[in-house]
Each structure stands twice: as structure tokens, then as C-alpha cells.
Amino acid sequence: MIFFTDKHIALVGLPGSGKSTIGRQLARRWSLPFIDADAVIEQRLGSSIRDFFAQHGEESFRDVEQQVIAGLLGDKRQMVIATGGGAVLRPANRAELGAHAFVVYLSAAPEEIAKRLHGDTQRPLLQVHNPMQRLLDLHAQRGPLYEEVAGLVVNEAGRPAVQVAQNVLQQLERLQKQSEADGARHANKEN
């Protein structure tokens, strides 16, 4: 049985926290479609996010991102969605995630992400003089927002993606069994 069959599974977290990698593994496990929101955005833009940022700025990007997130979450087919790191910045996105998805926050230490993303040139917000400081700032700004929307927080603590995905799967399956047991107890009380 697929976890929370009426909702999507959405992954949130800092850039480089493993949302796409782990999302693909979750989707494979449950035979669900996997959608990387950033890839859908790039397809819609006809350019890379980095180039769009450079030409139009972050606010214009966030407008497109909001449209894409609403479209994905409005799809009736259940899927696993990896959101962009800043998707939670807009209240409308947080509301959509809360209404249409079970959200998993992949919590990763900024120091760990900095090691993983060393030399990355694709993430526009990290193309700064001090990427480590930028990650610390993003974590301070976004961490509370990730926690606000999350139904499950998984701290990856530098573990390989396969182990993190397995941990997420186990926790989701445990939550599903608990939800089913609670539903059965509720049904028995009514009878």
C-alpha cells in the first residue's frame, strides 16, 4: 500500500540536501512518478534556472516556481516531488504543500552540504564569494519554514543517500501502519 494515498510525497530542504536523489528512490520503491520541480521549471522557462536568475532576478523566478508547484500539487496522480530549496519561502507554496502533500524535510548540516556542493556552478544562490556563509544564512532563514510544513523531519547527518532513503522509507511505512491502526481503532469505536 502506498503511504497516504490521497496525497503526494514532497521533499523539502536546502539546496544539495538530496531531495532529487532520495525522491527518485522513494518513487521507485512505490512505483510512483518522480518529478523534480526545478526540472519542470527549467522546461517551462526554456533556460537554466541560473540563467533565468541572472536575467530576471529571484522574484520573477519565485513567481514561476509558485505556478509550477501549484500545478504539480494539483495533479490528481500521486507522485513524489522534489521541490526547490526556496519553494517554502512563499506562503502560497507552504499552504499548497500542507493541503496536497505529505512533506518530508531532509535536514542536512550546512557544513555537510558545502562539502557536497564544492565547485557546483548550477545553484544560483550559492554563486557567491562565501558559499558556506550563504548556506548558513539559508539554513537560518528556511529551516523554520521547512519544519513548519514537514510531517516528517529526517536528519541525514552525512550518511549516504541510499541509507537516508531507507531511513525515510522505514519512517514513512511506520507512520502509515500507525495511521492505519488509528483508523481501525476509530472505526471499532464507532461500531
| Residue whose C-alpha is closest to residue 33's, from 2, 61, 55 | 2
Q: What residues are paired with 12 via a beta bridge?
A: 105
List, for residues 145-170, the tens digit of each pLDDT value. Answer: 999 999 999 987 677 778 888 888 88
Q: What is the DSSP track for 134-170? A: HHHHHHHHHHHHHHHH-SEEEE-TT--HHHHHHHHHH
**What global pTM score does this model have?**
0.87
**Which grid coordinates are listed for 39?**
526540472
List, for residues 24-59, the tens digit of each pLDDT value. Answer: 999 998 899 999 999 999 999 999 988 998 899 989
- The DSSP element (H or E) to which 104 belongs, if any, is strand 101-107
List, for residues 116-142, the tens digit of each pLDDT value. Answer: 766 665 665 566 667 788 889 989 999
Contacts of 68 (CB under 8 A, 6+ apart): 37, 40, 41, 44
Angle (CA) 22-102-24 rounded to 5° is 20
- Answer with the residue of higher pLDDT: 15 or 6: 15
Type of residue at 174: R
Q: Which domains does the chain have, with CATH numbers?
A: 8-190 (3.40.50.300)
pLDDT of residue 186: 63
| Cβ atoms 54, 124 nearer than 8 A | yes
Tell me the three state secondary structure of residue 176.
Answer: helix
Q: CA 155, 157, 161, 165 torsion: positive or negative? A: negative
pLDDT, average across residues 76-96: 95
H helices present in the chain, as ranges? 19-30, 37-45, 49-56, 58-74, 91-100, 110-116, 131-149, 161-190
Output phi, psi for 8, to 5 deg. Answer: -75, 165
pLDDT of residue 122: 62
